[in-house]
Structure 1
Amino acid sequence: MRAFSTLFIAAAFALSANAASVNKRDVSAAVQLCIDSITSTSEQLEAVNTAVLAFTSADGIIAANKIHTLEQVLETRLKKAGTDCCADIGAITLPEADAVLSTVEVLVPKVTGALSAIVTKKSQFDAVFLATALVKKDIAALDTQTKTLDTCLIAKTPTDPPSYLEAANGYVAEIDSAFSAAKTAYGI
């Protein structure tokens, strides 16, 4: 659900924002793969969030299953982002850190917004037999995958200057807070 939350803007926008601030030659292929995976996750999160926002209890279990199917794709993309970003890629340069953090910066409000939507729609999911059980499962799975990615983000972020690590910790804290609210709302 972090991917739900966490958590996301279209890839073209994210990549154009990165291109404006970072020269692509300053980003290694391995770091670019991480960025691309985060962007792919962001795109799928947007699809999930759109489906959640449109959901009403009148749509029934078929619509809830559609959201769950979209979440499964999101979970797969989030796992790939975790694998791609957690790979041993050596020291991250400051331009690479800039590129990754600006991609994450785009993602965070999408994650928090999606998780907020899940909380807001709880009564609608509760009104459909088994829908809340699916949502709970999805929140827990996405939270686990997001924590893996968050751990890598923090571990690979340069500590000098300290502003990089402060930014990364801030993004992780926002996402953790949104997941905490969703888990509390759903009794997870």
Structure 2
Amino acid sequence: MRAFSTLFIAAAFALSANAASVSKRDISPAVQLCLDSITSAGAQLEVVNTAVLAFTSSVGIIGANKIHTLEQVLETRLKKAGTDCCVQIGAITLPEADAVLATVEVLVPKVTSALSAITSKKSQFDAIFLATAIVKNDIKALDTQTKTLDACLIAKTPIDPPSYLITANGYVTEINNAFSAARSAYGI
């Protein structure tokens, strides 16, 4: 569930940049670490989403706890991405921004899909004592991590040309809307 946050953050930087056009030598080691952390969080988001899609109430609280454990890994990876992207690097160059946007561009639909899956599985979680409470906490924690990372990445996005920031803000809005729908479905 926390994996959704990573997708949201990545989406904030997603532009229609072509990763092939960015030379590795144009990317500083600090930005590469950020890219690697975002990629790692995105991979864990896929693991969480797969587990959520397969979840049924018949697996009980043990199954819900397995998803929660996977979410905790995602949350840890999001925190690392926050440190690697927000603390370790300053302003980024246009080639670095292209690389970040190209890396995270594919994450927005994955984030929205994962949040949609959580929403669609609400009745399954509701059927298990305490499972919905766990999911609510995971949604809140991932939303918080995502917002922190979104704000940091938006702050580092170049403002010239304006299309970078416009696109980044559009993806952040899409992610925020998906979180809003999940929060609403769970009464958060």
Instruction: Tell me how many residue pairs correspond in the alignment.
Output: 180
- The answer as to 2:146 corresponding to 1:140 is no
Unaligned runs of 5+ in 2: 9-16
- Does the 8 Å contact 2:41/2:78 carry over to 1? yes
Residue aligning to 2:184: 184
Instruction: Give the direction of change, closer, same or farther, for the CA distance of 1:94–1:66 in structure 2 (3 Å limit).
Output: same
1:11 maps to none
Q: Is the 8 A contact 2:55 2:63 kept in 1?
A: yes
**1:73-99, Cα deviation, whole Å (9 max, x unpaired):** 000000000111102523211000001
Q: Is the 8 A contact 1:3 1:146 kept in 2?
A: no
TM-score w.r.t. length of structure 1: 0.91
Cα deviation for residue 104 of structure 1 reads 1.8
The CA deviation string for residues 45-88 of structure 1, in whole angstroms up to 9 with x for no partner, is: 00000000000011111110000000000000000001111025
- The one-letter code of the counterpart of 1:186 is Y
How does the TM-score come out when normalised to structure 2? 0.91
- Local SS of the residue matching 2:89: coil
What code does the residue aligned with 1:153 have? L
Q: Distance in 2 between matches of 1:27 and 1:50?
A: 32
Matches within 5 A, 1:1-188: 1=1, 3-4=3-4, 6-7=6-7, 19-188=19-188
Cα RMSD between the aligned structures?
Answer: 1.6
Task: Say whether the 8 Å CA contact 1:2–1:111 is kept in structure 2.
Answer: no
Whole-angstrom CA distance in 2 between matches of 1:2 and 1:143: 8
CA–CA separation in structure 2 for the residues paired with 1:108 and 1:2? 14
- Larger RCO (CA within 8 A; separation ≥ 6): 2
Counterpart residue type for residue 133 of structure 2: A
Q: Which portions of structure 1, spanning 4 or more consecutive aligned residues, are displaced by more than 3 angstroms?
A: none
SS of the counterpart of 1:90? coil
Any idea what SS the aligned residue of 2:144 has?
helix
Q: Is 1:5–1:178's contact at 8 Å kept on the other side of the alignment?
A: no
- SS of the residue corresponding to residue 4 of structure 1 reads helix
Instruction: Evaluate the alpha carbon distance shift between residue 184 and residue 70 of structure 1 in structure 2; reply closer, same or farther with a 3 A threshold.
Output: same
Following superposition, the deviation at residue 100 of structure 1 comes to 0.6
Q: Secondary structure at the match of 1:7?
A: helix
Contact 2:48–2:67 (CA under 8 A) maintained in structure 1 = yes
